[in-house]
Structure 1
Amino acid sequence: MKLRRELLTARGNLSPEQLRVNAVKVRETLLDQPWAQMAGLVACYWSTGAEPETHGLVFALWKHGATVILPVLRENDDLDWAVYDGPDTLAPGRFGIMEPVDTRRGVDAIRTAALVIVPALAVDRKSGVRLGRGGGSYDRALARVGPNVPTVALLHDGELIDDVPAEPHDQRVRWAVTPRELTRLM
């Protein structure tokens, strides 16, 4: 898909300094929200490459008493979940992405999360449709999340756009956080 390639190229052009600045702004914006501060169980992801960085966010949530679960990619590309218990409790999983070494909680563990933070390449500002990498893993996970749970996509500036192409299985997010703004989508 052309849009996906364009977004990945733009991310690849971000400097390490810009990635660091973006990470701090996104983390501070999200942690300022009462619904994030009060979430006892948070489903998040361990960022890789030029994704909006979540390592500091995961650590901050954990240090403030939240239980953070991170995905473990299964062979069928669905997401299992395991508890993050500090930076020393991660190991490379499939495709080298860091995953918790804790006991797997099952694909339905996300159902009990009070806050769900997901990666996205872009989000449609009108509909909340997120564009991922194309594997459908997060669409399956988001389909298990209750209707009142804040679901949040972390983005770089310029990735909250109009007209993200959607397919019937695509799941929407309720919030998008960029370095410049927090946007309620639905």
Structure 2
Amino acid sequence: MPSDPSSAKRALRADLRERRQNLTATERERAETGITKNLQTLVAELGARSLSCYLSGPAEPNTRPFLNWAFAEGLRVLLPISREDGLLDWTVDDGESEALGIHGWPEAVGELLGPIAVNDVDLIVVPAAAVDESGMRMGWGKGYFDKTLGSMEKCPPVFAVVFDGEVLDEVPRERHDEPVTGAVTPTRIIRFR
């Protein structure tokens, strides 16, 4: 692995972005079905009644079918809203309202609950570019989720959602990077620690 994790991350992110863009509609549908089923299984296994998740962007594994299911099941779901200061506010998912956030990502619209609202959930579901076999998560470079996870006193289980080919032997790591408990892919639920 190169000695500069920052440039190694940039190169790996570019490769992963291209791989995601090259997925066919059929591959995306299959992934969506598997990820939804595996997230439902994870919620049941953990007995989670409240969780945080995110609205996926066009190239990400689609979280909306899972969010629709969670809403229909009456689970309390917090969705992140990016702030200029690098922190995340949270709002309760109403099952429909969204807009583009400050970085052009889809985000929920609703009453802002502040950064510490996420401290009360039973499960945190985060986006990722990749995860490695040790549970290290590599995001897309803004640091929002690393800051959130790093500031939590008592963190519930944290699972990253990735495509199957994005569970790697090793990802570049910097001091601020936070590990995850596990990963959810289209074909499996992986627990790292």
Query: Normalised by the shorter chain, which TM-score bucket?
Result: over 0.9
Matches for 1:1-186 after TM superposition, within 5 Å: 1-33=10-42, 34-36=44-46, 38-87=47-96, 89-125=97-133, 127-145=134-152, 147=154, 149-186=156-193
* Normalised TM-score (structure 1): 0.92
* Maintained 8 Å contact 1:108/1:144: no
Unaligned runs of 5+ in 1: none
Task: Identify if the C-alpha distance between structure 1 residues 106 and 148 changes in structure 2 by more than 3 Å, giving closer, same or farther.
Answer: closer
- Partner amino acid for 1:94? I
Which amino acid counterpart does residue 117 of structure 1 have in structure 2?
A: V
CA drift at 1:42:
0.9
Cα distance in 2 for partners of 1:143, 1:48 equals 24
SS in 2 for 1:32: helix
For residues 6-53 of structure 1, what are the alpha-carbon distances to aligned partners after superposition, in whole Å with 9 as ceiling and x for unaligned?
1111111001221121011011012123245x2121100000021111
Number of equivalences: 183
Q: CA deviation at 1:2?
A: 1.1
Displacement, 1:95? Answer: 3.2
- The residue type equivalent to 1:63 in the other structure is A
Runs of 4+ in 1 over 3 A off after TM superposition: 144-148
Q: State the identity %.
A: 36
Work out the CA distance in 2 between the residues paired with 1:157 and 1:146.
31
Distance 1:78 1:148, change over 3 A: closer
**Secondary structure in 1 matching 2:33:** helix
Q: State how far apart, in whole Å, the 2-side matches of 1:115 and 1:183 are.
A: 15
Question: How does the TM-score come out when normalised to structure 2?
Answer: 0.89
SS of structure 2 residue aligned to 1:140: helix
Q: Which amino acid aligns with 1:120?
A: A
Q: Distance in 1 between matches of 2:153 and 2:58?
A: 30
CA deviation profile, 1:123-181 (whole Å, cap 9, x unmatched): 011x2110111111110112244556111101101100111111111001001111121
Contact 2:36 2:65 in 1 (8 A): yes
1:154/1:76 CA distance change after superposition, 3 Å: same
